Amino acid sequence: MVKNIFDLTGRVALVTGGNGGIGFGIARGLAGAGAAVAIAGRNENKNRAALQRLTAAGLPAIALKCDVTDPAAVAKMVDTTVDKLGGLNILVNNAGTNRRTDEPQNLTLDDWQLVVDTNLTSLHVVSAAAFPHLKSNGGKVINIGSMMSVLATGYAPAYAASKGGVVQYSKSLAVGWARHDIQVNCILPGWVRTDMTEGFLKMFPERYQVIVDRTPAGRWAEPQELAGTAIYLASRASDFVTGAAIPVDGGYLVQ
């Protein structure tokens, strides 16, 4: 009998920003495929609500409070995951934020620094903390980029710059960690209905239909639709895939 190469039974996953939106959709998918999952986020109320949804579905999970811009908090997050779940095999760097402006030059330096620290610098901090555990048995790192890793926008310059950096940093990890049997890849989500994009629609309500019209699939995605690609990248099915950036965007980047 051929074993299911997508089965994550016995694996432990840590998902930053796993208490909502894309992160929660991925965390639920990984848990459904058999992994024990730690979801981490700054908001304890959201953490508790997300954990309740997972455990109510019979999925193995814990929730941890963590600000990924704080190296001490990150170290504690990783150590607690290993202590409570018995190891760490899969890391999903999903935590992110955005600050928008009418024109690029009007974005404040504080907003720029917040976005870059959260979206890009945290990848290095979290990945470095997780590395000793990931290399023990071979590991998987999944970094969440964006369409803005490839495209440009005038209203979110720090976000676009940080997400472009996510892809390049992922390639560096892929090269540097290949000898440790760690695969590092990116998912580039398209337009997904989340709290973050709700804020975008409040600022630019006319953009909703423009985006739908450009997307060949003819709609926005739901967060759980990112889970299949994450399961693939977390599983043995992707053992010879590293340094890739995979759009999950309903075809938005095609045209």
* Catalytic residue status for 252: no
> 174, 184 in Cβ contact below 8 A?
yes
**Residue 215 to residue 203: CA distance in whole angstroms:** 20
**Residue 146 to residue 88: CA distance in whole angstroms:** 25
Closest CA to 241 of 184, 168, 157: 184
**Residue 169 to residue 63: CA distance in whole angstroms:** 27
CA-based torsion, 172, 178, 181, 186: positive or negative: positive
Options 159, 169, 232, 252, the catalytic residue? 159
**Residue 86 to residue 133: CA distance in whole angstroms:** 10
Residue in the block written with tokens 């979206």? 119
**Residue 176 to residue 35: CA distance in whole angstroms:** 26
Residues acting as catalytic residues = 159
